[in-house]
Amino acid sequence: MSEPSAKPYLTVRGSGTHELEIKKSRFICHLARVADEDEAQAFIAGIRKKYWDARHNCTAFVVGGESPRERSSDDGEPGGTAGVPMLEVLRRRGLTDTVAVVTRYFGGIKLGAGGLVRAYGSAVSEAVDAIGLLERRPVTLLAVSADHTRAGRLENDLRAAGHVVRGLSYEPTGVLIEVGVPEPEVTAFHAWLAEVTGGAAEAIEAGRSYVEALV
């Protein structure tokens, strides 16, 4: 698995494809979100199997948070004309946990090195624009415990205050409300909770996750 990032990061919204034609050659870019290098390689293998009859299936991916891992492949195109410009688009957009495969069906007209660089880079850039991005922001998960009589109002107060309620768990002794709080705001959240509930509810750290926001 890729190491979790302590900072917000950008990735694509999901999987998708985008195609463009340049001098009769078809360039089909396939993009996907992946959790780690194994998922990236599995996605690449799946595309290569599906488009087995294409002249080239060139690839690039970036995975990981603080120390991202990057890989690219020209898959038979002249060195540096496909995988590298694809990877450069991912870098320039600040993306991670993202894999790109550009399938090329040769149209009979050579593009030259410069033309290939522009074509493969454009294929990925246009696909990113078409599919869209989101930002993943790290949050501390807090389990807020409240008795049954207070839980409904507390949930409303949490949402009204803009806190991310991720789930509720009903127990015999009360209700656990899971809240995602941005890491720099955890101390302030405890103070807010004490003030709103008069000290009747408490929050215990229960892990770490992410919230997602479209950009």
* pLDDT value, residue 37: 95
- One DSSP character per residue, 105-138 reads E--S---HHHHHHHHHHHHHHHHHHHH-EEEEEE
Q: Tell me, yes or no, if the pTM score tops 0.95.
A: no
Q: What is the fold of 138-214?
A: Alpha-Beta Plaits (3.30.70)
Phi first, then psi, for residue 124 (nearest 5°) are -70, -45
* pLDDT value, residue 1: 43
* pLDDT value, residue 5: 55
Report the range of poorest mean pLDDT among 24-28, 50-54, 149-153, 189-193: 149-153
- pLDDT tens across 22-78, in order? 999 999 999 999 999 999 999 999 999 999 999 999 999 999 877 889 999 999 999
- pLDDT tens across 138-148, in order? 899 999 998 88
**Lookup: tokens for 212:** 């997602």
9-131 under CATH 3.40.1370.10, yes or no: no
In the chain, where the domains are located: 9-131, 138-214
* pLDDT value, residue 7: 83
Average pLDDT, the chain: 93
